[in-house]
């Protein structure tokens, strides 16, 4: 398509979110119920080609199947339509980061975090498999880490692949690096193929390793796993056993269902508890209360220039990242300043940025009000809590915001000077006023 259409049926098109060899995804708006949506569209030339009718039927059939998979860990499909010789699928619009993006970054996932993400994927698969729907393309690019700390699986039953994915066996569906042995052989796949792919993603989250195209047909999966575990001795033997069963080349040796895979992970003695699992993402998985500071383009350009003096070309990335999860000018400035290691240069930047953002210099850098989303104390050591006190706060917060609580406590404890300040800030992550009050009663004297 040469230009962005104005609409598909009743759905208004706002902008392009992404595109590949098979189609485009737009951000759209449903004017009837006033909801932002994502619209996935097949390229016209595919529909006009030799297999156009087959693609169209498959697109519709799989959209219908995916629409039955209503689950918190699945990107929902709302509608299917055909307009101006194009098929389109209307999906839930979500904000977050693909797991593939995170894995390409320098940040690492802990074992608990990787297991939490895997459990979320397996719960999504449990829901889909109940309808005999096989995803066929579980991979990091289809696992989304949301800004609110949740995890969703995308393209459920509607995954149409880029040309780079349609390699090796001519009729196979999926991405070779994560595909089960039976899928690579071009055989009909079952739900167990999804479990194999999930196991491969788990292995990559823990180690960064995945089979190369050259190894797919030349290296037995058992040998590959052995070599990886030899290099990563931090992975416990019980967890290694779970991964080996998920990646068993024979179906009879592999987990029979997503539920069985879940039970295998939840039974691991090395995990403290399901509630202690936590998600970590570079740009996403932030506090429940979001959005967000909006600054004029010129102000952002000025800040970029000021920060580039200290960080060079990384300034653009740092500003983009911070702007996705800050709600005040002061918070934004302080988050940017944390990337400057030299204390003197950091103070210089804060002085410049305060003027650019029109921040009152008489206000102290450390904020302690209950309305502050982040409190940053320049050059102040992290608050030290006793083990018992930390466990009490963690348990209380998990009850209200889920497993992301542990990550948030680790994040905020570095920025405050007192126990009460920490608890006040953590309370701001709880949206419901009565729940917020109850949390404070539990943790504040």
Confidence class of residue 403 from pLDDT cuts 50, 70 and 90? low
pLDDT of the residue at 111: 86
Segment 208-227 mean pLDDT: 86
8 A C-beta contact, residue 40 and residue 31: no
pLDDT of the residue at 265: 93
> pLDDT: is 283 or 313 the higher one?
313
- CA 141, distance to chain mean position in Å, is 9
For residue 427, count other CB atoms closer than 10 A to its CB: 20
Alpha carbon distance 335, 426 (integer Å)? 18
Alpha carbon distance 188, 37 (integer Å)? 33
> pLDDT: is 196 or 61 the higher one?
196
Whether 168 has a pLDDT exceeding 60, the answer reads no
Confidence class of residue 67 from pLDDT cuts 50, 70 and 90? confident
Lowest mean pLDDT among 266-280, 307-321, 339-353, 393-407: 266-280
Alpha carbon distance 102, 426 (integer Å)? 25
DSSP class of residue 79?
E
Confidence class of residue 300 from pLDDT cuts 50, 70 and 90? confident
Whether 291 has a pLDDT exceeding 90, the answer reads no
8 A C-beta contact, residue 194 and residue 129: yes
Distant-in-sequence, close-in-space partners of 252: CB < 8 Å, separation ≥ 6: none
| Average pLDDT of the chain, as a whole number | 78
8 A C-beta contact, residue 90 and residue 139: no
pLDDT of the residue at 47: 72
Number of alpha helices (DSSP H) and beta strands (DSSP E) in the chain:
17, 9
Confidence class of residue 337 from pLDDT cuts 50, 70 and 90? confident
Alpha carbon distance 317, 305 (integer Å)? 13
Alpha carbon distance 161, 175 (integer Å)? 8
Burial label for 304, CB within 10 Å (0-12, 13-18, 19+), is middle
Segment 10-36 mean pLDDT: 89
Q: In the beta sheet, which residues pair with residue 92? A: 37
- 329: enclosing H helix or E strand: helix 329-337
Whether 332 has a pLDDT exceeding 60, the answer reads yes
- Whether the CA torsion 226, 228, 229, 230 is positive or negative: it is positive
DSSP class of residue 332?
H
Confidence class of residue 250 from pLDDT cuts 50, 70 and 90? very high
Confidence class of residue 321 from pLDDT cuts 50, 70 and 90? low
Separation in Å, CA 64 to CA 58, 79, 90: 10, 8, 11
Burial 129-149 (b: 16+ CB within 10 A, else e): beeebbbbbbbbbbbbbbbbb
Report the range out of 50-54, 314-318, 350-354, 368-372 with the highest average pLDDT.
350-354
- Whether the CA torsion 147, 21, 137, 133 is positive or negative: it is positive
Alpha carbon distance 327, 288 (integer Å)? 13
Whether 157 has a pLDDT exceeding 50, the answer reads no
Structural domains of the chain sorted by starting position, each given as residue range(s) with its CATH number in brackets: 7-92 (3.30.200.20), 96-276 (1.10.510.10), 297-356 (no CATH)
pLDDT of the residue at 296: 80
Whether 305 has a pLDDT exceeding 80, the answer reads yes
- CA 102, distance to chain mean position in Å, is 8
Q: Which residues does the annotation mark as catalytic?
A: 137
Lowest mean pLDDT among 381-390, 417-426, 431-440: 381-390
Segment 387-391 mean pLDDT: 86
What region, left, alpha or beta, does residue 402 occupy, with left being phi > 0 and alpha being psi -120 to 50 degrees? left
Dump pLDDT digits (tens) for 220-230.
899 999 999 99
> pLDDT: is 66 or 157 the higher one?
66
Rounded to 5, what percent of the chain is helix, strand, coil? 45, 10, 40
Alpha carbon distance 376, 416 (integer Å)? 7
pLDDT of the residue at 263: 93
Dump pLDDT digits (tens) for 107-155.
678 888 899 899 999 999 999 999 888 888 899 999 998 866 789 998 8
Alpha carbon distance 406, 112 (integer Å)? 11
8 A C-beta contact, residue 137 and residue 155: yes
């Amino acid at each position: 398509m040469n230009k962005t259409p104005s609409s598909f049926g009743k759905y208004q098109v706002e902008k392009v979110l992404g595109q590949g060899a098979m189609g485009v995804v737009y951000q759209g708006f449903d004017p009837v119920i006033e909801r932002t949506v994502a619209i996935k569209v097949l390229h016209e030339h595919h529909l006009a080609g030799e297999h156009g009718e087959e693609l169209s039927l498959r697109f519709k059939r799989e959209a219908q199947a995916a629409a039955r998979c209503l689950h918190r860990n699945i990107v929902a499909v709302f509608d299917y339509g055909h307009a101006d010789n194009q098929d389109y699928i209307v999906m839930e619009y979500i904000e977050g980061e693909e797991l593939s993006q995170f894995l390409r970054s320098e940040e690492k996932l802990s074992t608990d975090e990787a297991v939490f993400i895997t459990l979320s994927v397996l719960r999504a698969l449990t829901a889909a498999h109940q309808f005999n729907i096989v995803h066929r393309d579980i991979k990091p690019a289809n696992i989304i880490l949301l800004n609110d700390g949740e995890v969703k699986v995308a393209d459920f039953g509607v995954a149409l692949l880029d040309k780079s994915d349609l390699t090796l066996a001519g009729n196979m569906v999926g991405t070779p690096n994560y595909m089960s042995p039976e899928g690579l052989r071009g055989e009909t796949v079952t739900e167990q193929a999804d479990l194999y792919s999930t196991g491969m993603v788990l292995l990559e989250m823990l180690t960064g390793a995945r089979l190369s195209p050259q190894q797919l047909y030349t290296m037995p999966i058992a040998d590959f796993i052995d070599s990886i575990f030899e290099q990563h001795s931090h992975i416990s033997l019980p967890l290694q056993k779970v991964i080996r069963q998920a990646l068993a080349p024979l179906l009879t040796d592999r987990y029979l269902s997503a539920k069985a895979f879940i039970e295998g992970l939840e039974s691991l003695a090395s995990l403290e508890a399901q509630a202690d699992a936590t998600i970590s993402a570079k740009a996403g998985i932030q506090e429940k209360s979001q959005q967000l500071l909006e600054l004029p383009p010129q102000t952002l350009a000025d800040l970029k220039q000021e920060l580039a003096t200290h960080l060079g070309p990384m300034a653009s990335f740092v500003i983009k990242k911070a702007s996705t999860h800050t709600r005040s000018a002061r918070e934004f400035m302080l988050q940017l300043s944390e990337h400057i290691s030299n204390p003197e240069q950091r103070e210089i930047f804060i002085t410049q940025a305060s003027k650019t953002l029109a921040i009152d210099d008489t206000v102290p850098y450390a904020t302690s009000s209950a309305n502050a989303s982040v409190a940053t104390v320049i050059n102040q050591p992290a608050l030290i809590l006793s083990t018992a006190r930390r466990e009490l706060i963690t348990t209380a917060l998990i009850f209200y915001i889920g497993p992301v609580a542990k990550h948030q406590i680790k994040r905020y404890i570095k920025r405050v000077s007192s126990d009460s300040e920490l608890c006040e800030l953590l309370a701001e992550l709880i949206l419901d006023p009565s729940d917020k009050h109850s949390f404070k009663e539990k943790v504040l004297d």
